[in-house]
Amino acid sequence: MKITSAISAEDMVAIEWNAEYLGVSRLLLMENAGRAVAGEVLKRVKLGSRVAIFSGLGGNGGDGFVTARHLAPHCKVHQVVLGNPSSIKHPETLINWEIISKMHHSLRLYIIQDAAELPEIKASVVVDALLGTGARGAPRGAMLQALQLMNRMSGVKVAVDLPTGVHPDTGERTTEDAFQPDVTVAFHRPKLGLLRKKGNIGKPVVANIGIPPEAEIYVGPGDVLRVYKPRPPFTKKGDFGRLLVIGGSNQYVGAPILACQGALRSGVDIIYLAAPPNVISAATNLSPDIIPIPLKTKILKRAAISKIRDIIKQVDALLIGPGLGEDSESLDATTQILTLADQQDKLVVVDADALKVIPRVEKLSSNTIITPHAGEYRYITGGAVPQSLKKRGKVVRALSEKLGCVVLLKGPIDVIAEQEKTRFNWTGIPAMSVGGTGDVLAGICSGICAQGIQSYLAACVGTFINGAAGQLAFQDKGVGLVASDLMEYIPRVIQNPMASRASYYSQTSIQEE
């Protein structure tokens, strides 16, 4: 991910989870955030001044609680809590609430459950920690009246990360009574809305809260959580995608089946497999969840395109390549299928033998992911993959810009690029060099695409899930790990992406700059 001057609210949440995966806990991030706000307040008041902090019950409120604790030795702190603290669900906020609820001597605490209970406080500084970047919609009830009160107060006004009543991404006010700060202390990087509507934020101050750069550079659990959200209660078949897998040949039977199983485990609803009869027979015996589309020939030929064209119209994404073989007729048919998919604006993953058509084309659709390993990269570009990870990122990004598609270079550390954006993935283990794990990866990526996720994010998340599933499988299976073992662990990673911890590779040839 290219680090820019501003960040969306969704990206920020993902980065926080990625930081926790690296060992920097969200509790520590909250501690650093509150301490940073306290530091900004102390720059603006004399010791002993009165400070009023208005906190909600979410993460932003927790930042306010930490701010109160750090200011308590230096100022007369009045901590106002809107809502019943027994309703706090945010774990880090709850920890910090339990601390300040015991600080009877060093601060004054108000618990407000009705607007009539709001206190009139004369303060040198007013701190807004009511709602953070996760809030949507206009504040109402006691919170709205609290905003009106805070705006009337005469002290210096400080917003924690984002003024309450301002949308984090657009910067638009969600209410006329949005908090009107003199200063907004943004954490890590300013949110997009703070730069788009600068008149709503006062003076912006960016505070470093200890998030490692790797939380943005490497794919992590936060990215998985962006893709996988609770399904609505009235979800029906097909709402989470339909995928067509095209592959297999007389020689290669297992690859498309592994891809289909990986895609099914990724959460896609429906999978069609277009393949020769021998592959279809094996696939339906192993997995009745696959809808068979038998071809009449032992390999993919142009004659099959009319049948495939009708299926492409019905699906959200397609995967072509696993076990396809190198026959020239199959590659000719692949080129035509890619054109059909592009014409219908379908998301496509091109894997394995289908990658041999890449040198024939000048451009691919931006909806396309190609998944070469080092050997396939050499075939496509004529050059070897550099040893330096930094140089790998550069050449993969250049290939993406040349082809106009997403490139996923598989390796000990995967490299994912889309035009100017680059991410790396370090989940996985050497035991995954066993045949078939790349087919599983292609299936996961295409399954995620079929669920409506754009190609770049799908490729990033697919690499993480595939590698993390391999790590968990290896813990149970050891060196006897085979590709089909991953199927059991893919849903576990999706359900709890923090289950496996990232591990650095020690090879200096991979890590060198």
Q: What is the pLDDT of residues 172-197, one digit of tens each?
A: 899 999 999 999 999 999 999 888 87
Structure tokens at 217: 């550079």
pLDDT score of 69 more than 80: yes
Tell the residue number behind the tokens 């048919």, with chain if given.
Answer: 333
pLDDT score of 3 more than 50: no
pLDDT at 197: 79
Count Cβ atoms below 10 Å from residue 231 Cβ, excluding itself. 10
| Gap between the Cα atoms of 240 and 64, Å rounded | 39
pLDDT score of 4 more than 60: no
pLDDT score of 510 more than 60: no
Both 225 and 204 in a single domain?
no
Both 446 and 462 in a single domain?
yes
- Choose among 349, 435, 367: nearest CA to 404: 367
Both 41 and 170 in a single domain?
yes
Within a domain: residue 414?
yes
pLDDT score of 511 more than 70: no
Within a domain: residue 235?
no
If you average pLDDT over every residue of the chain, what do you get? 93
Within a domain: residue 304?
yes
pLDDT score of 373 more than 80: yes
pLDDT at 199: 76
Both 260 and 168 in a single domain?
no
Q: What percent of the chain has pLDDT over 90?
A: 88
Q: What is the pLDDT of residues 202-261, one digit of tens each?
A: 899 999 999 999 999 999 999 999 999 889 999 999 999 999 999 999 899 999 999 999
DSSP 75: S
Range of the domain at 158: 9-217
Both 429 and 455 in a single domain?
yes
Both 436 and 481 in a single domain?
yes
**Domains identified in the chain, total number:** 2
pLDDT score of 505 more than 50: no
Q: What is the pLDDT of residues 439-474, one digit of tens each?
A: 999 999 999 999 999 999 999 999 999 999 999 999
Within a domain: residue 237?
no
Confidence of residue 54 (pLDDT cuts 50, 70, 90): very high
Q: What is the pLDDT of residues 84-133, one digit of tens each?
A: 999 999 999 999 999 999 999 999 999 999 999 999 999 999 999 999 88
Q: What is the pLDDT of residues 396-409, one digit of tens each?
A: 999 999 999 999 99
Confidence of residue 508 (pLDDT cuts 50, 70, 90): very low
| Gap between the Cα atoms of 302 and 234, Å rounded | 41
Within a domain: residue 80?
yes
Q: What percent of the chain has pLDDT over 70?
A: 97
pLDDT at 502: 52
Tell the residue number behind the tokens 């618990």, with chain if given.
Answer: 111
Burial of 402 (0-12, 13-18, 19+ CB in 10 A): middle
| Gap between the Cα atoms of 353 and 333, Å rounded | 12
The separation between the first and the last C-alpha atoms of the chain, rounded to the nearest angstrom, is 17
pLDDT at 53: 98
For residue 162, what is the domain's CATH number?
3.40.50.10260
Identity of the amino acid at 150: M
Both 52 and 87 in a single domain?
yes
pLDDT at 198: 77
Both 203 and 254 in a single domain?
no
Within a domain: residue 4?
no
Q: Which helix (H) or strand (E) holds 14?
A: helix 9-22
Within a domain: residue 400?
yes
For residue 409, what is the domain's CATH number?
3.40.1190.20
Q: What is the pLDDT of residues 142-165, one digit of tens each?
A: 999 999 999 999 999 999 999 999
Let me know: does 439 contact 259? Beta carbons within 8 Å.
yes
